[in-house]
DNA sequence: CTGAAAGCGCTAACAA
DNA sequence: TTGTTAGCGCTTTCAG
């Protein structure tokens, strides 16, 4: 049904090889022949079959990207950085979404392997259970065996190329600031238990307390999906628990947003009654009322780096790019130190 | 380098044909042979080469989706609806982003055609210049010739399968409500001129005025990118123009958000001083302060429908699914009718 | 129930 | 400068 290279060859009165040569422009072809072939290609609307090419070439020019959720701004930002460099380098990006189901990550890697992608980039924190890690390591091995590579973006539960941030430091930065400004009952709205991100940000929260010689009240730590609704429901639970608290450190900006909404519904004011800090630095954070103080993750930059590694020839050793986070101080924190006011 | 079907065949002591048969489970194979082959597949970590399969099969099981911007929540929502049904039907989604450059749309369709995708879905308003439309129609023809199909999601500038909303009605709904509540100087923050969406939403704005026997002041209409910053800068221009206005109808929620921020920077209160209405109904709209009144587009539903058409066998006639928009009334509009206090 | 063989569309030696 | 030819990995008749 589709136009093939031999249709073009016939029309131009040359061999397939010649058509292939003008197509790839990697070989000298007489100008008149060139023109004739080019015309035939145009007339027929010929477009090369990438599958036939992939069967021969060692590389396909496509990079698979696996994210948790297409409608989460965090992934949107990271992916936009990736698109940027993929466009520059002429690569096609294949985006797959797991819909937050870690087991789909493995299935998706298999699909991408069958597509013979040049690399697979896994974005976001990963599950931490042994079964998953084993399966992941095996996929990484298979990928390498077929000439591809695995790039981890945002975490690195298995040895591989990776672009990472330090979630512990981030959690520390956020919590330390809250502690520094006099907060002493800080609730933590964490993510689902099985993710590395959840654990690490929580550890940062704990170590900041330790730096102040404090131990956080464990009843103040909650667990829910990394979403606006997850933050909202954790905050409702927090409120219903009836415990005193003067600040909230949410594991993501979206969760912080959900918490702010829940607080607002009860007439609790941010930051006068409760201070709130988020994590990620998604664009909307600065536009909330009040603007959200948050640990800024260089999302676009992470995406760029990960794609750069993915499209470059594999090095001997694993490349690990570590990117810093920083705290963006905005209106959602009040100063509650005794001296203030 | 990669494991092939003949490696598996050798290991299992059978022919390639037999391996293929157990792989596709579309043919009777003796149970003992089956097991032996399955074991070999597992031992070797064999994964079929999708390119070799695509070369033979008439279908690839992949659907290409072209969006304007990965980090725009509008596209995130639409794509999440698409992923949903693609997952159900076992299809792979290839997402390409044009970064808001319409000419890339054509290039991307070509890439997707060379990947022999079963369908290409174009999301979002399209450019309207003749050259682009011609090129698009030609790509649609080529796509059909190779057994694929083009599905338009959110607009239909060329005859094709499509899922659409009525932007004029939406613009009318938004503006009518503003007029009904007594606003008489309504600014319109529109999108870039070359997009159909821009023109249609503007037309709705004008026809609502006409319904009230009014003609909007043309100096109150602005043009900028469909983004938060686009809305912000248009609003700054509006403010600097020094013209009186009591409401803003923005072409997207993101633009409305940018406008609200610009207003806030000048100490102008929404809705007391100025009412604001957006368009799209992205999730964050309801969480703004005040919550944004907006024309809700069924984004997820549009995505689902578009993908459903894309994965189903082509019908004789073009399928056009029309989905309704509705106005979500929230806090960003004040009542300024003379009778209302 | 299983194997042999042809061929999908293309590229890359190797000849001419 | 151009043509011939041998596969790339897989599926699918057609035989057995």
Residue B245, both tokens: 């206005």
Instruction: Specify whether the CB–CB gap between A68 and A101 falls below 8 A.
Output: no
**DSSP code per residue over A223-236:** E--SSHHHHHHHHH
Inspect the interface and report whether the beta carbons of A114 and B48 lie closer than 8 Å: yes
> Average per-residue pLDDT in chain A?
93
pLDDT of residue B340: 57
| A49: nearest CB among B114, B138, B284 | B114
Residue A307, both tokens: 């794609």
How far is residue A122 CA from its own chain's centroid?
Answer: 7
d(CA A71, nearest CA chain B) in Å = 4
Q: Is the peptide bond before B290 cis (omega within 30 degrees of 0)?
A: yes
pLDDT of residue A321: 96
- 3 state DSSP class of A283: helix
Q: Looking at chain A, list the stretches that DSSP marks H as alpha helix, in order from N- to C-terminal side.
A: 5-12, 16-24, 31-44, 50-56, 73-88, 103-114, 130-145, 167-180, 196-211, 228-241, 253-265, 299-311
| A70: nearest CB among B47, B80, B283 | B80
d(CA B280, nearest CA chain A) in Å = 14
Question: In chain B, how long is the greatest CA-to-CA distance?
Answer: 89
Inspect the interface and report whether the beta carbons of B116 and A77 lie closer than 8 Å: no
**Helix pair angle (B31-44, B5-12), 10° resolution:** 130
Strands (E), chain B: 62-67, 92-97, 119-123, 149-153, 161-165, 186-190, 221-223, 247-250, 275-280, 293-296, 320-323, 326-328
Per-residue pLDDT of chain B (341 residues; tens, 9 = 90+): 789 999 999 999 999 989 999 998 888 889 999 999 999 999 998 999 999 999 998 889 999 999 999 999 999 999 999 999 998 998 989 888 888 888 889 989 999 999 999 999 999 877 888 899 999 999 999 999 888 999 999 988 888 999 999 999 999 999 999 999 999 999 999 999 989 999 999 999 999 999 999 999 999 999 999 999 999 999 999 999 999 999 999 999 999 999 999 999 999 999 999 999 999 999 999 999 999 999 999 999 999 999 999 999 888 889 999 999 999 999 999 999 987 55
Q: Is the pLDDT reported for residue A125 higher than 80?
A: no
B134 contact A CB<8A: no
pLDDT of residue A313: 86
* Residue of A152 and B28 predicted with greater confidence: A152
Residue with tokens 């628990």: A241
Contact positions of strand D to protein Cβ (< 7 A): 1-5, 7-13
Which nucleotide across the nucleic acid strands is nearest to A12, CA versus C1'? Answer: D2
How far is residue B92 CA from its own chain's centroid?
Answer: 18
pLDDT of residue A86: 93
How far is residue A254 CA from its own chain's centroid?
Answer: 15
**DSSP code per residue over A24-86:** HT-S---HHHHHHHHHHHHHHT----HHHHHHHSS--SEEEEEES-TT-HHHHHHHHHHHHHH
Q: Is the peptide bond before B271 cis (omega within 30 degrees of 0)?
A: yes
Q: Is the pLDDT reported for residue A332 higher than 90?
A: yes
Residue A118 φ then ψ, to 5°: -70, -25
Inspect the interface and report whether the beta carbons of A287 and B257 lie closer than 8 Å: yes
SS3 content of chain B, % helix, strand, coil (to 5): 45, 15, 35
Q: What is the pTM of this model?
A: 0.92
Instruction: Specify whether the CB–CB gap between A120 and A112 falls below 8 A.
Output: yes
């Amino acid at each position: 049904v589709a136009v093939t290279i031999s249709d073009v060859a016939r029309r131009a009165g040359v061999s397939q090889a010649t058509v292939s040569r003008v197509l790839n422009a990697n070989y000298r072809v007489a100008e008149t022949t060139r023109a004739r072939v080019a015309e035939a290609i145009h007339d027929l609307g010929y477009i090369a079959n990438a599958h036939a090419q992939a069967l021969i070439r060692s590389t396909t020019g496509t990079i698979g990207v696996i994210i948790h959720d297409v409608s989460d701004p965090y992934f949107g930002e990271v992916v936009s950085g990736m698109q940027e460099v993929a466009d520059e380098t002429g690569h096609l990006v294949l985006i797959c979404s797991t819909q937050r189901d870690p087991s789909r990550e493995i299935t998706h890697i298999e699909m991408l392997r069958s597509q013979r992608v040049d690399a697979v980039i896994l974005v976001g924190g990963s599950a931490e259970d042994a079964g998953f890690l084993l399966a992941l390591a095996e996929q990484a091995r298979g990928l390498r065996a077929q000439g591809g590579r695995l790039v981890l973006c945002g975490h690195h539960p298995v040895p591989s190329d990776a672009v990472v941030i330090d979630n512990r430091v981030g959690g520390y930065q956020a919590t330390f600031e809250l502690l520094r400004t006099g907060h002493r009952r800080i609730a933590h709205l964490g993510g689902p238990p099985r993710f590395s991100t959840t654990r690490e940000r929580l550890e940062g929260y704990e170590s900041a307390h330790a730096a102040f010689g404090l131990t956080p009240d464990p009843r103040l730590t909650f667990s829910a999906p990394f979403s606006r609704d997850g933050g909202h429901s954790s905050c409702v639970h927090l409120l219903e628990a009836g415990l005193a608290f003067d600040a909230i450190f949410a594991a993501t900006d979206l969760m912080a947003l959900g918490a702010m909404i829940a607080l607002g519904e009860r007439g609790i004011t941010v930051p006068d009654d409760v201070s709130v800090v988020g994590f990620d630095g998604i664009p909307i954070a600065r536009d909330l009322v009040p603007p959200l103080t948050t640990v800024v993750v260089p999302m676009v930059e992470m995406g760029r780096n990960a794609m750069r590694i993915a499209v470059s020839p594999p090095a001997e050793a694993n490349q690990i790019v570590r990117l810093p986070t920083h705290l963006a101080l905005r209106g959602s924190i009040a100063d509650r130190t005794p001296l203030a006011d």
